[in-house]
Amino acid sequence: MSRSARQLDADLPFPGDAALRAAAEGWRRALAQERRMAANTVEAYERDLRQFLTHLDARSGPPTIQKLIALKPRDLRAFMAARRADDISGRSLMRALAGLRSFARHLEREGHGSVAALGAVRQPKVERRLPRPLPVQAAVAMTLPETRADESREPWVLARDAAVIALLYGSGLRISEALGLTARDAPVPGLDEVRVTGKGGKVRAVPVLPAVAQAVADYLALCPYPLDPDGPLFVGVKGGPLSPRIVQYAVAGLRGALGLPESATPHALRHSFATHLLARQGELRAIQELLGHASLSTTQLYTKVDAARLMSAFEAAHPRAGKLAGATNP
């Protein structure tokens, strides 16, 4: 569905009577304003609830809060079966259930009662996608500004992009975490760790390799703008906060220069950080801490990566001992 079609869908009233529509609008506002969910998540939850209410409307007439409270597990299973028939993935069904449960909790908080049927429905099975890490040599090459030396970009811009990419691979950061760093907290030479704010506002300390710190220092030395200590460390060409989209464009350019597949994304650098550490016999629980995963099961995905790829990474050297690190193994 296109963005314009989704927006048109979002502008339509929810199916159901006036009380249910009011409750749904209140829930939507609470997600965005009180829980501060990402706009895409709010949009997806809203769309899932709208589809469920439309399904109920077609089966048994306009839905009401009372009808939702009286739902049976079979009603929810029928909805899930209908969505499966439309070739909806298990992952999308799992998100739909999460959205419906969120709305049910909202109804309960508002004093309408509990939608007990939601507790009796099992989560759909989801085939977890394996990370697709890069070869060590390719990941290292992506962190070097000289890889893009033939581009008609200012040297400070190339140095900035190299510093961000070095943080993604050398410290396993998400784009949002790297771009969330302030100038005051710049990981420069002399610092061996940096504190970043991850998902859910959780703060964690991550290691900073000497060459990563040097990449940040090189960027700071070339940056033409005076940086506010409490402002963003990485800025765009007009001096404002750097957009994640610019980092994605930079990585896309590197894919072309290095002949890498479409799977070589900024997040693939984070996957590569974890996979290459694991291949060098890194301890899984420690890698979980470095990545900021809430659950060890998420980190355990890296143990299922193709064995041949792991052996290839093992025979090479992670940047902690190679060109990017410029230092001995910890």
| Angle between helix 39-60 and 90-109 (nearest 10) | 80
Look-up: residue for tokens 């507790």?
119
Of 83, 95, 160, 270, which is the active-site residue? 270
Determine the Cα–Cα distance for residues 43 and 16; give it in Å rounded to an integer: 19
- What are the structure tokens assigned to 146, written together? 């000289």
Number of H helices, E strands in the chain: 15, 2
**Quick check: is 323 catalytic?**
no
174, 276, 318, 320: the active-site residue: 174
Half-sphere exposure for 214 (CA within 13 Å, toward CB): 11
270 is catalytic: yes
Active site residue 293: yes
Exposed/middle/buried for 320, CB within 10 Å: 0-12, 13-18, 19+? buried
Question: Is beta strand 203-207 parallel, antiparallel or unpaired with respect to 193-197?
Answer: antiparallel
Note if 302 is an active site residue: yes
| Pair of tokens at residue 49 | 């609830």
What are the residues whose beta carbons fall under 8 Å from the beta carbon of 182, sequence distance 6 or more? 229, 230, 231, 232, 233
Nearest Cα residue to 230 out of 180, 280, 191, 189: 180
Please tell me what DSSP assigns to residue 84: H
Reduce the DSSP state of residue 182 to 3 states and report it.
strand
The one catalytic residue among 105, 148, 293, 323? 293
Pick the catalytic residue: 74, 109, 184, 199?
Answer: 199
Q: Pick the catalytic residue: 112, 148, 267, 280? A: 267
Q: Which residues are catalytic?
A: 174, 199, 267, 270, 293, 302
